[in-house]
Amino acid sequence: MSQLYSGDLLDNRYRIGAQIARGGMSTVYSAVDTRLDREVAVKVMDPALADQRSFRARFEREARAVAKLNHPALVNVFDQGVDGEYVFLVMELVVGGSLRELLKERGPMPPHAALAVMEPVLTALSVAHATGMIHRDIKPDNVLISDSHQVKLADFGLVRAIATGVNSGAHTAHDGKVIGTVGYLSPEQVEGKSLHQTSDVYSAGILLYELITGTTPFKEDSPVGTAMARLNRDVPAPSSVISGVPEEIDQLVARATSRSSETRFSDGTEFLNAVHSVTRDLNLPPFKVPSPADSAVRRALEGADYGERLSWDDESMSTRAVALGTDPRTSEQPGHAQPFSETAHTQLQPADGGYSPYSGTPGVDAHSPAAAYPAGAHAGAGQPGAAHAGNPQGYPPSAYPAGPLHHSGHAAEVAQSHESNRKPALSNRSSGRTVVWILVILALVAAVATGAWWLTSGRYGEVPNVVGMDQASAQATVEEAGFTSDLEEQYSNDTARQAVMGTDPPFGERAPRGSQVAVLVSLGKPTVPQPGSADTVATYTQKLEDRTLQARLGSEVYSDDVPKGKIASTKPASGAEVNTGSTVEVQLSKGPRPVRVPGVKGQSEQRATETIEAAGLEVGDVVQEFSEQVEAGDAIGTRPGSGEEAPGGSEITLVISNAIKVPNITGLSADKAKEKLREAGLNPVHGDPITDEDVEAGHVASQSPAADQLINPEEDTNVTIHESDSVRVPFVIGSTAASAKQKLEALGLKVKFSSDSSGLVITQSPGLGSRVRVGDTITLGTL
């Protein structure tokens, strides 16, 4: 596999920067994600593994599983992939350094510092163990410390993927090789047994032992011997190496590193709870874990030459295949990983005249990081420039015997070693002046370098990871990192309501110190808002966009409550919880659902009104019109008409007849007939009399228009009356002539005497009961 160089573009996305570290199974580069414009770390796997299909499949599955873990105590995994011959993993870039580098700089830790490191490490294990994952390679190199004092566990699941490539799926290869780091292997890893969370617990116990003592417990002549020793021997108590270690710390280490997995802490959570209990019982002060001053990440980001082997390059500290039952010093075979060398350990400061992690530092507050874990923890060890050629640990070989270190007998040996390495002091004035000038020049160079550092990267800080914290702690963490903070609420599909889900700018990015970093608080999934009565499509669309949702105009729907043209409903319905970015269909109202107008012709106005309301409509206007078929006061119809559709609840017009029904006046006297017509709103008009033997003279014999005919009151309202002129001849015989004449003339008849006009009437013609017309003559005979 060809080497990646600064400026190369991996997977058409990740611009490769400086090489940070190189180990037995991978190389780590700083890089920039060109798509999201953020700094990341890219781990490129060894070509011997990348060529194997089984490894690639396992690598992809493990990376996906690890990417689902999201916690501030875990180094987040952003991406994984294959680009030609490169199999790579993209991770959060932690600007700081590793716990290995910190131990090299400062040596062993006092209890409160060691437990401050263990708490986030075990928290990370707890999160992973809860999902069934196992780390398999807990060691200081995989514990990273950021400049904001965050401790993070890295490389979850990668050992299992590597094991697939080397061992074809087993924890122990067919040729007896074990994948892992010798100093931290659990007994069951050495034996090739099935692994559980208790294997990580054992390795974490070794890590705690090393933090307290500065070394790993088993030191044999070969990596195989070191690996096998844990099968037959218990991890010694830290107090047997350094005096003053509390018994509670010894008990933590003893239980975590029990050779029987059944008697260890069951998982990271139980180990973490025990650490909390010891912290309370010992009343240990809080401690911010410092990042190492000189680290591979810093050198890479600051553009330093990659000249020295880094902690990850140290074969004793890298993840490799250990050949069990073979000579560990045999040369590497093609296609196979090199076996381990013995795990290195960290130098202890001599007890006499030097630093003891339990004695404190005079003149420094015991609660400060400087007092609890001073930078000058040991003479020469870990200081820049203190490294000896051929010793990547940076400590004089004579200061480190192969076996466990004890606090008293070894102190004099270390002090003597340091004394022998001292150079003679300068003794002449010239040399003194030279030293002064050198110091002045160095001070000027340092000032210029400091200014340049501040103008370039010094004024920038890394945005911390606050995911999972409460809001107050998240803001405090941001402010401790040198930024100002405020809260910004955002909708999220995956984060519970009111939980902290990140920052803007996102964590891992570098921003000017003092600039504002928003702590993003989840509003949970958005809900579809309720449309208001005054909302238009435009205003409601803005409401949706405020919740990350999009609007789409759907079909119109009927609504009995929402006016036509207003928003009647949505899909999903208002109040429904949806994913961010979802589309909501907005449905406008067509008004109420239409109903069929009922027929009301011929009904009285009251009855017609009741019929209309029963159909779901309302009577609006009532108008009068003429109809030759509908009597006055009854309904002619409606507008819209019968059988047509109208919106439910809408008003329709009721049409009432104003026709006048001509009354029947035949047989009535002319005066009464006239009175009745006038009461009906009609105008009586005299017509020619007619002879009707059935109707007495002076009474209405006929009328026009006829009775019951409907006439338009806005047109001709005249009714012609035809009186009858038929008179029934009365009986006048025996009456005096004068009396008879009077009676007949009163009926409109004329009288003629056939003889003398005096005397008694003895004859009449026509006779009694005859019908004659008014004006006819009646002839009378007298005696």
Active site residues: 137
Q: Identify the DSSP state of 458.
A: I
Of the CA atoms within 13 Å of residue 47, those in its CB half-sphere come to: 8
DSSP string, 311-324: GGG-GGGS-EEEET
Nearest to 351 by CA among 409, 419, 420: 409
Nearest to 327 by CA among 341, 316, 343: 341
Nearest to 335 by CA among 121, 714, 12, 46: 46
Amino acid at 280: R
* 718 beta partners: 683
Q: Which residue has the tokens 């019968």?
A: 642
Nearest to 498 by CA among 489, 511, 506, 508: 489
* Cis omega (within 30 of 0) for bond into 111: no
Q: Give the rounded distance of the alpha carbon of 467 from its chain centre.
A: 15
CA distance 371 to 655: 102
The three-state DSSP-derived secondary structure of 666-701 is: CCCEHHHHHHHHHHCCCEEEECCCECCCCCCCCEEE
CA distance 179 to 164: 10
3-state secondary structure of 405: coil
* 700 beta partners: 723
Q: Give the rounded distance of the alpha carbon of 463 from its chain centre.
A: 22
* 589 beta partners: 557
CA distance 250 to 268: 18
Nearest to 370 by CA among 179, 118, 692, 110: 110
Q: What torsion do the CA atoms of 595, 599, 604, 609 make, to the nearest 10 degrees?
A: 0
Nearest to 206 by CA among 170, 225, 180, 224: 180
3-state secondary structure of 414: helix
Which strand (E) or helix (H) includes residue 568?
A: strand 567-571
Contact 156, 135 (CB under 8 A): yes
Amino acid at 306: Y
Phi, psi of 594 (to 5 degrees): -65, 150
3-state secondary structure of 711: strand
